[in-house]
Amino acid sequence: MRIAPRSEMERIEVEIELLPKLSAEQLDERWRELFGTARPQRLYGPLLIGVLAYRLQEKAFGGIKPATRRLLRQVAGLPAERRPLDRLNQPRLKAGAVLLREWHGTTHRVTVLESGYEYNAQRFKSLSETARRITGSRWSGPLFFGLKRREQSDASA
């Protein structure tokens, strides 16, 4: 949470106080300005005003801490959010890279393309789709080709 100048705090207070006085159309417009999407149909009345008020404060002063967000997800019984760093820790494959994998005594060669993968002169959208073709069963492509360890796969699932 960042500390806002007194004038910004006063502006947010005034804006929040005015929310209940806005028409439905004005509230919808405010929603689009703050969220960049149309208002969900089931969100209206005091709940809509509360969400808009929270969003105004969130934009001005910052949102809740990641640790609090994780705790709330845990209490609600929701799965943990995948951390952005998980993606950063995965190797990035450049077009032209060749992946080799031995499976049942046969070495399989997969070439990374700009968008997708090539195996046995066929194009595949994902590495998992390619692994499925090789094994005949569902596999995590990065796991099958050794780009991540099983512990990483289990932790991020």
pLDDT band at 8 (very low <50, low <70, confident <90, very high): confident
pLDDT in tens, 93-124: 888 999 999 999 999 999 999 889 999 999 99
Is 25 inside any structural domain? Answer: yes
Is the pTM for the entire model greater than 0.75? no
**Domains contained in the chain, number:** 2
Q: Residue 128 has what pLDDT?
A: 93
97 in a domain, yes or no?
Answer: yes
The yes-or-no verdict on residue 152 having pLDDT over 50 is: no
Is the pLDDT higher at 146 or at 28?
A: 28
Identify whether residues 50 and 93 lie together within a single domain. Answer: no
Could you read off the pLDDT of 29-79 as tens digits, one per residue? 999 999 999 999 999 999 999 999 999 999 888 888 888 988 988 898 888
Q: Which residues contact 45 (CB under 8 A, 6 or more apart)?
A: none
- Cβ atoms of residues 134 and 127 within 8 Å: no
Is residue 59 situated within a structural domain? yes
Cite the DSSP H helix spans in the chain.
Answer: 6-18, 24-35, 45-61, 66-75, 84-89, 127-135, 141-144, 150-156
Contact 47, 67 (CB under 8 A): no
